[in-house]
């Protein structure tokens, strides 16, 4: 199915579906006239004598160099080829396609000055499965994601490499096999393609969606952990959280309370429990993970605005008849959003790891056997699984340090403050993978602990989650080769299967973004 997108009004839900299912897109035809009007204004400027940045001048520090009319096409081609300086592993296909969709949305606003043929080749590449190979490293997130977007543009002109039908090949070969003719870039078109925040924004969006799956799963795993240690649900009372007023905190408490409703384990110690308070990792889950969710909602709004933004330079203001240089390519909003998501990921993992430590520690776990094994001593149980989560928690803490504060001058000091949004966004993938494991291990520990409470049963909702887990990870009766179990549990977290096994409210799942 081909999705018709409205520039300036695309939603995160639409973009998620496009990313998840690798759908093709076209721009609403109502925006074609605006694209053509901006292109005509650029063509007029290119034919004139006045120097217009990006149309008939050099770039960056070389903006003062006037380019002859006969060399304008060569100027744009040279721009693309010279900026193909990316290094490192290639961006995955789904995120690359999302980046291309975001570039289409930006061009569709009619302020970039590109020809319709440039829009059409991007649409054709998405429809026919030609995906540029984009090295993931090389952008500092200002003056646009220059290197990554240059590799995208290179495929459009038949240079560089692309993926087609699962095979990596030259872009020329990929376009030929797909029946697509490479374009020749006109005035400003190369600059319009490589100026912009679409690489950083695409990576940040994928990081956001992964973080939401993790956050939702953490509500479930905390409920399991709470029942495993026979923890109290009193701190989940709605009145406590509404008195504070934070939406995330209220939503998490309600969701966890609903998940534990009907648990025999909980009812068995509701009266006469001598423990006054559970540790913070149990008692303060709504306050911590709820705050992380609030932060992610804010980041989501920033990224939705950016996904619909025009972020190249100069901009073509058709109504005013002007081509004006600005700074919309600076990805500071994206960098800030990615840094916020990183903090949220780190904190969700930090409190979850403490729950794991609580459950495996016989001095703290409220009558659970040491390391959750029925025969401790002969067996080590989940001892080192907890150590692994500690390692990943610590790694995420380091990765959560802000990237946007690490500006550095580039391009002979012409571009003297940059956002570092690209690697701020890229590191979210690694952080989410770490958190997948932490939450997977928490699910393993929580389920093991709940099983030790038999014949008392947990709630119907948590039973359903445990059945989903146990289909991939059997109960740990005696020591076995653990790595595949941890991997299987982390996959259930990563793909949303575990969270999807229970009914969670829209806010907790991130649907409200």
How many domains would you assign to the chain? Answer: 2
Q: How much is the pLDDT for 69?
A: 73
Residue 105's domain spans which residues? 2-196
Whether the Cβ atoms of residue 76 and residue 186 lie closer than 8 Å to each other: yes
- pLDDT tens by residue, 120-162: 999 999 999 999 999 999 999 888 899 999 999 999 999 999 9
Residue 426: both structure tokens together: 């890229």
Average pLDDT over residues 470-475: 98
Helix (H, G, I), strand (E, B) or coil at 364: coil
Last residue of a domain, one of 162, 178, 196: 196
pLDDT at residue 271 above 70? no
- pLDDT tens by residue, 193-230: 999 999 999 999 999 999 999 999 999 999 999 999 99
Of the given ranges (65-69, 87-91, 239-243, 461-465), which has the lowest mean pLDDT?
65-69
Does 356 lie in the same domain as 229? yes
Does 285 lie in the same domain as 187? no
From the list 160, 156, 155, 189, the residue with the least C-alpha distance to 73 is 189
Does 378 lie in the same domain as 502? yes
pLDDT tier at 63, thresholds 50, 70, 90: low
- pLDDT tens by residue, 154-202: 999 999 999 999 999 999 999 999 999 999 999 999 999 999 999 999 9
Q: Say which residue, 282 or 271, is predicted with more confidence.
A: 282
pLDDT tier at 109, thresholds 50, 70, 90: very high
Does 184 lie in the same domain as 46? yes
pLDDT mean across residues, the chain: 94
Crossing angle of helices 93-107 and 116-128, rounded to 10° = 160
Strands 167-170 and 161-164: antiparallel
pLDDT tier at 60, thresholds 50, 70, 90: low
Does 76 lie in the same domain as 97? yes
pLDDT at residue 275 above 70? no
Does 220 lie in the same domain as 181? no
Q: How much is the pLDDT for 217?
A: 98
C-alpha to C-alpha distances, 231 to 109, 226, 240, 242, 366, nearest whole angstrom: 54, 5, 17, 22, 9
Does 492 lie in the same domain as 365? yes
pLDDT tier at 276, thresholds 50, 70, 90: low
Rounded-to-integer distance, Cα 150 and Cα 84, Å: 5
Q: How much is the pLDDT for 37?
A: 97
- pLDDT tens by residue, 380-417: 999 999 999 999 999 999 999 999 999 888 877 777 78
- pLDDT tens by residue, 417-455: 889 999 999 999 999 999 999 999 999 999 999 999 999
pLDDT at residue 274 above 60? no
Residue 347 CB coordination number (10 Å): 18
Whether the Cβ atoms of residue 270 and residue 486 lie closer than 8 Å to each other: no
Can you say whether the dihedral through the CA atoms of 349, 350, 354, 360 is positive or negative? positive
Average pLDDT over residues 450-461: 96
62: domain CATH number is 1.10.275.10
How far, rounded to the nearest angstrom, does the alpha carbon of residue 155 sit from its chain's CA centroid?
Answer: 25
Q: How much is the pLDDT for 272?
A: 59
Tell me what percent of the residues of the chain surpass a pLDDT of 70: 97
Does 232 lie in the same domain as 187? no
Does 233 lie in the same domain as 138? no
Q: How much is the pLDDT for 277?
A: 84
Query: Judging by beta carbons within 10 Å of its beta carbon (0-12, 13-18, 19+), is residue 253 exposed, middle or buried?
Result: buried
Q: Helices in 113-246 by DSSP H: which ranges? A: 116-128, 146-156, 171-178, 189-194, 198-228, 238-244
Q: How much is the pLDDT for 411?
A: 79
pLDDT at residue 263 above 60? yes
Buried residues in 178-189 as b, exposed as e (16+ CB within 10 A): bebebbebbbbb
Does 24 lie in the same domain as 6? yes
- pLDDT tens by residue, 41-50: 999 988 887 8
Last residue of a domain, one of 164, 196, 228: 196
Last residue of a domain, one of 142, 162, 196: 196
364: domain CATH number is 1.20.200.10
Does 395 lie in the same domain as 310? yes
Residue 46: both structure tokens together: 């290119």
Does 402 lie in the same domain as 265? yes
Residue positions annotated with a catalytic role: 53
Residue 74: both structure tokens together: 């060569």
pTM assigned to the model: 0.95
Q: How much is the pLDDT for 49?
A: 78
Q: How much is the pLDDT for 67?
A: 74
């Amino acid at each position: 199915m081909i999705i018709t997108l409205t520039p300036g009004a695309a939603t995160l839900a639409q973009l998620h579906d496009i990313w998840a299912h690798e759908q093709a897109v076209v721009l609403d035809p109502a925006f074609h006239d605006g694209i053509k009007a901006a292109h005509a204004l650029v063509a007029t400027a290119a034919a004139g004598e006045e120097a217009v940045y990006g149309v008939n001048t050099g770039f960056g520090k070389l903006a003062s160099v006037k380019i002859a009319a006969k060399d304008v096409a060569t100027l744009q081609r040279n721009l693309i080829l010279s900026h193909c300086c990316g290094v490192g592993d290639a961006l995955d296909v789904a995120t690359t396609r999302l980046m291309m969709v975001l570039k289409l949305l930006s061009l569709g606003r009619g302020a970039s000055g590109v020809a319709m043929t440039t829009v059409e080749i991007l649409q054709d590449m998405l429809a026919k499965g030609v995906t540029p190979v984009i090295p993931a490293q090389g952008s500092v997130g200002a003056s646009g994601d220059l290197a990554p977007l240059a590799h995208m543009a290179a495929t459009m002109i038949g240079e560089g490499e692309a993926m087609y039908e699962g095979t990596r090949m030259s872009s020329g070969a990929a376009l030929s096999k797909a029946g697509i003719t490479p374009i020749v870039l006109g005035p400003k078109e190369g600059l319009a393609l490589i100026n912009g925040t679409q690489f950083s924004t695409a990576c940040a969006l994928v990081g956001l969606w992964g973080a939401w799956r993790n956050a939702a799963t953490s509500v479930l795993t905390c409920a399991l952990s709470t029942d495993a240690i026979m923890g109290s649900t009193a701190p989940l009372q709605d009145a406590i959280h509404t008195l504070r007023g934070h939406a995330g905190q209220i939503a998490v408490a309600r969701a966890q309370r609903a998940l534990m409703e009907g648990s025999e384990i909980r009812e068995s110690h509701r009266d006469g429990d001598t423990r006054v308070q559970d540790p913070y990792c149990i008692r303060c889950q709504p306050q911590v993970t709820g705050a992380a969710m609030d932060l992610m909602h804010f980041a989501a709004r920033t990224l939705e605005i950016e996904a619909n933004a025009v972020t190249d330079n100069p901009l073509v203001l058709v109504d005013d008849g002007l081509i004006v240089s600005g700074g919309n390519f600076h990805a500071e909003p994206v960098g800030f959003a990615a840094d916020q998501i990183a903090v949220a990921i780190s904190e969700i993992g930090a409190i979850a790891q403490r729950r794991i430590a609580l459950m495996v520690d016989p001095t703290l776990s409220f009558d659970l056997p040491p390391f959750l094994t029925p025969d401790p001593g002969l067996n080590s149980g989940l001892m080192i699984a907890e150590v692994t989560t500690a390692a990943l928690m610590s790694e995420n803490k380091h990765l959560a340090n802000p990237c946007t504060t690490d500006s550095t001058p580039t391009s002979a000091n012409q571009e003297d403050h940059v956002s570092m949004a690209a690697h701020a966004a890229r590191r979210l993938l690694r952080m989410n993978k770490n958190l997948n494991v932490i939450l997977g291990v928490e699910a393993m520990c929580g389920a093991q602990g709940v099983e030790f409470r038999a014949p008392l049963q947990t709630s119907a909702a948590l039973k359903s989650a445990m059945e989903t887990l146990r289909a991939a990870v059997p109960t740990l009766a005696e020591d076995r080769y653990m790595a595949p179990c941890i991997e299987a549990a982390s996959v259930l977290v990563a793909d949303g299967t575990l969270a999807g096994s229970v009914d969670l409210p829209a806010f907790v799942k991130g649907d409200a973004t």
